[in-house]
């Protein structure tokens, strides 16, 4: 049997473009060359798709491609066709994990890894994800969708102001008083025209890596983010590979066994309620009263050396190479 030809998409047009490139570099280091023939396609910041040799420096100079039922490589007025067996999107944020590229891949008819259009769009919009989670009996923060005409007097502080559809804490602010709110809303609106105000949750940030489809789910070890100050935003720091300025991930989390099980079971319930498949990282709050509430779901979590998802899976005995195998196999079997 020949190698599986895997189209790997990375880059993208969102603010998480650099993180996506780093995730793709990690995939390149751990992809099983005996099983897979990678076809690297980088998405430049201007939206151009580039066929390249990998996610290293200079990939933007590759030949331009378009996606139909196969990749069409454009070259001086001519084109050649490249067949793909499956696509592995390694894209984060808008136009990567919000259902947009998933819709394009659905139209192409090429199997792809990860969540489908509906679950990708749902998880990307925090307010919609909260509504669905609540309907499934899962706790969420109190939240309000607001505009620039928001009345600061209606809230008890502190609160968090967030773009409804963004990731890696871009545009997120902790607001301690009325005088800060309007500026924070304007800052969040730079990333999305839908802005949330969330009540602060007293507790710890915990997460769970989930892998699989339907009832057949595997979960990694739970992690806990220990914060010295502020909130978790490692992907915006200058050198996250060497450690964070304000956070330390503890894997496995330093919580009792029954709490660990509660976090894992809640993560699976959230994953199923939101229709996820393939993989996702479910971020939650472990409240001081011992209950768990949803924070957000990342349908294409980071795969970098400092990312939470591969760390949680590694702590459960699943290497990044094995993780890639499982995700690709799910895509081939399940579409």
Q: Tell me, yes or no, if 306 is annotated catalytic.
A: yes
Catalytic residue among 194, 281, 308, 311: 281
Q: Tell me, yes or no, if 17 is annotated catalytic.
A: no
Phi–psi pair at 129, nearest 5 degrees: -60, -40
Catalytic residue among 13, 17, 92, 277: 92
Catalytic residue among 17, 22, 126, 326: 22
Q: Tell me, yes or no, if 235 is annotated catalytic.
A: yes
Q: Tell me, yes or no, if 190 is annotated catalytic.
A: no
For 325, residues 6+ apart whose C-beta sits below 8 A from its C-beta are: 32, 35
Q: Are 205 and 234 in contact (CB under 8 A)?
A: no
Q: Are 89 and 42 in contact (CB under 8 A)?
A: no
Rounded Cα distance, 201 and 174, in Å: 12
What is the DSSP annotation of 72-103? EEEETTEEEEE--SEEEEE--STTTSSSHHHH
Q: Tell me, yes or no, if 21 is annotated catalytic.
A: no
Catalytic residue among 42, 114, 171, 302: 302
Catalytic residue among 3, 241, 243, 290: 241
Q: What letter does residue 59 receive in the DSSP assignment?
A: G
Count each helix (H run) and each strand (E run) in the chain, helices first.
Answer: 8, 17
Catalytic residue among 36, 130, 191, 306: 306
Helix (H) or strand (E) holding 19: helix 17-30
Enumerate the active-site residues. Answer: 19, 22, 92, 235, 241, 281, 302, 306
């Amino acid at each position: 049997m020949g190698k599986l030809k895997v189209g790997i998409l990375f880059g993208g047009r969102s603010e998480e473009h650099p993180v996506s490139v780093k995730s793709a570099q990690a995939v390149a280091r751990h992809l099983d060359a005996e099983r897979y023939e990678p076809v690297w396609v980088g998405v430049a910041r201007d939206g151009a798709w580039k066929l390249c040799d990998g996610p290293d420096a200079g990939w933007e100079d590759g030949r331009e491609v378009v996606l139909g039922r196969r990749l069409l490589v454009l070259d001086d007025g001519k084109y050649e066709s490249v067949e793909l067996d499956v696509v592995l999107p390694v894209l984060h944020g808008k136009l990567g994990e919000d259902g947009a590229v998933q819709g394009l891949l659905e139209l192409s008819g090429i199997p792809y890894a990860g969540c489908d259009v509906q679950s990708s769009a749902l998880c990307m919009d925090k307010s919609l994800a909260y509504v669905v989670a609540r309907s499934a009996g899962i706790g969420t923060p109190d939240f309000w969708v607001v505009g620039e005409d928001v009345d600061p007097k209606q809230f008890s502080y502190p609160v968090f102001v967030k773009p409804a559809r963004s990731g890696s804490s871009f545009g997120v602010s902790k607001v301690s008083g009325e005088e800060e709110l309007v500026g924070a809303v304007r800052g969040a609106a730079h990333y999305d025209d839908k802005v949330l105000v969330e009540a602060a949750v007293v507790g710890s940030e915990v997460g769970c890596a989930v892998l699989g489809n339907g009832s057949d789910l595997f979960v990694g070890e739970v992690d806990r983010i220990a914060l010295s100050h502020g909130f978790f935003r490692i992907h915006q720091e200058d050198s996250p590979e060497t450690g964070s300025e304000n956070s330390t991930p503890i894997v496995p989390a330093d919580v009792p066994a029954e709490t660990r099980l509660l976090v894992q079971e809640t993560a699976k319930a959230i994953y199923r309620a939101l229709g996820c498949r393939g993989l996702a990282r479910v971020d939650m709050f472990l409240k001081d009263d011992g209950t768990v509430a949803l924070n957000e779901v990342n349908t294409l979590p980071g795969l970098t050396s400092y990312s939470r998802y591969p760390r949680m899976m590694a702590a459960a005995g699943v290497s990044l190479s094995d993780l890639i195998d499982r995700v690709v196999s799910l895509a081939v079997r399940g579409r």
